[in-house]
Amino acid sequence: MKIKILPILLITLLFSNCKTDKNKVEPINIETATEQNNKPSSDIENSNLYEASNIKITPIEHASLVLEYNNTSIYIDPVGDAERYTPFSSPNFILITDIHGDHLDTKTLEAINTTNTIIIGPEAVKEKLPESLKANFNVFFNGLNESFSIGEFTMGVEAIPMYNLREEALKFHTKGRGNGYILTLNNQRIYISGDTEDIPEMRNLDNIDIALVCMNLPYTMPVENAADAVLAFQPKIVLPYHYRGTEGLSDVANFKTIINNKNKAIEVVQLNWYK
């Protein structure tokens, strides 16, 4: 008799739990969950790391990031609390794009161990650095293209113009003051836009494997312009970054939609830049 009561009780409990309830947790779709777990890392939204061709790209915040390859660390526009950089080895290179506080922070630079660091940036950045940071500073102007070697490691660095086009934004970034960069690592060409609009120099880029493209108003460009520029130079992979403006975060989901509606071959990877 007891053996028959148990299944009856279980059935009763199951039916009672299935009653409509606005607070009820919906069951997990096992097929959907499995597909999500099997997605490649580049498809997962808001990841804290992107890796391709043994190059790791870690977002720090907004315009700041760290690239790692072959036991070499490259800091891009390191700003904010220096503790953010403690998970990484001391930088072999630091690249700075412009003089604004979201790109240049002398307190952060002084707190980081830069004893053996090659620092690269425009003349306007050097002018704002303390003497202690100028010894290893390499001035790069728009169009300069050089290679740097550390042991067996070699990195190419090309300075790309970054500036505003819209009349109301010309005051923010004048042509020639700041640098975007193309880094060549492990035969991969990585474009870092810095603060810019969809300038001809961006639209005419060739053979870009990974592009980090800004989009925030009023300082750089609208999402639509950023997407149109990407469609023009067609990088294999694009990472939207630097997308916080005065009105909050730009619509990077729309950026991806615009691009993939016209060119599905361009992979748009969304990392978590604002933790």
Q: Which pLDDT score, from 0 to 100, does residue 237 have?
A: 98
Inter-residue contact 196 to 173 (CB < 8 Å): yes
> Is there a domain that residue 233 lies in?
yes
Which of 13-17, 82-86, 148-152 is predicted least confidently?
A: 13-17
Q: Which pLDDT score, from 0 to 100, does residue 28 have?
A: 26
Distance from C-alpha of 164 to C-alpha of 142, rounded to nearest angstrom: 15
Question: Can you say how many angstroms the Cα of residue 167 is from the centroid of all Cα atoms in its chain?
Answer: 27
pLDDT per residue over 6-40, tens digit each? 443 333 333 333 333 333 323 322 222 223 333 33
Distance from C-alpha of 244 to C-alpha of 242, rounded to nearest angstrom: 6
pLDDT per residue over 56-83, tens digit each? 999 999 999 999 999 999 999 999 999 9
**225 C-beta neighbours (distance < 10 Å), count:** 15
pLDDT per residue over 95-145, tens digit each? 999 999 999 999 999 999 999 999 999 999 999 999 999 999 999 999 999
Residue type, 187: N
> Is there a domain that residue 40 lies in?
no
Strands 178-185 and 237-240, how do they pair? Answer: unpaired
Inter-residue contact 137 to 119 (CB < 8 Å): yes
Distance from C-alpha of 8 to C-alpha of 266, rounded to nearest angstrom: 57
> Is there a domain that residue 238 lies in?
yes
Q: How many domains is the chain built from? A: 1
pLDDT mean over 169-179: 94
* Mean of per-residue pLDDT scores for the chain: 86
Distance from C-alpha of 220 to C-alpha of 240, rounded to nearest angstrom: 13
Q: Which pLDDT score, from 0 to 100, does residue 46 have?
A: 61
Q: Which pLDDT score, from 0 to 100, does residue 45 have?
A: 55
> Percent of the chain scored above 90 by pLDDT?
79
> Is there a domain that residue 18 lies in?
no
Distance from C-alpha of 88 to C-alpha of 102, rounded to nearest angstrom: 20
Q: How confident is the model at residue 275 (pLDDT cuts 50, 70, 90)?
A: confident
Is the pLDDT score of 255 beyond 80?
yes
> Is there a domain that residue 118 lies in?
yes
> Is there a domain that residue 121 lies in?
yes
> Is there a domain that residue 117 lies in?
yes
Domain of 214 in residue numbering reads as: 47-268
pLDDT mean over 47-52: 92
Inter-residue contact 196 to 180 (CB < 8 Å): yes
Inter-residue contact 58 to 69 (CB < 8 Å): no
Distance from C-alpha of 240 to C-alpha of 256, rounded to nearest angstrom: 9
> Is there a domain that residue 2 lies in?
no
Residue type, 171: K
Distances (CA, A) of 200 to 32, 139, 178: 43, 23, 16
We report the CATH number of the domain holding residue 215 as: 3.60.15.10
Residue type, 39: K
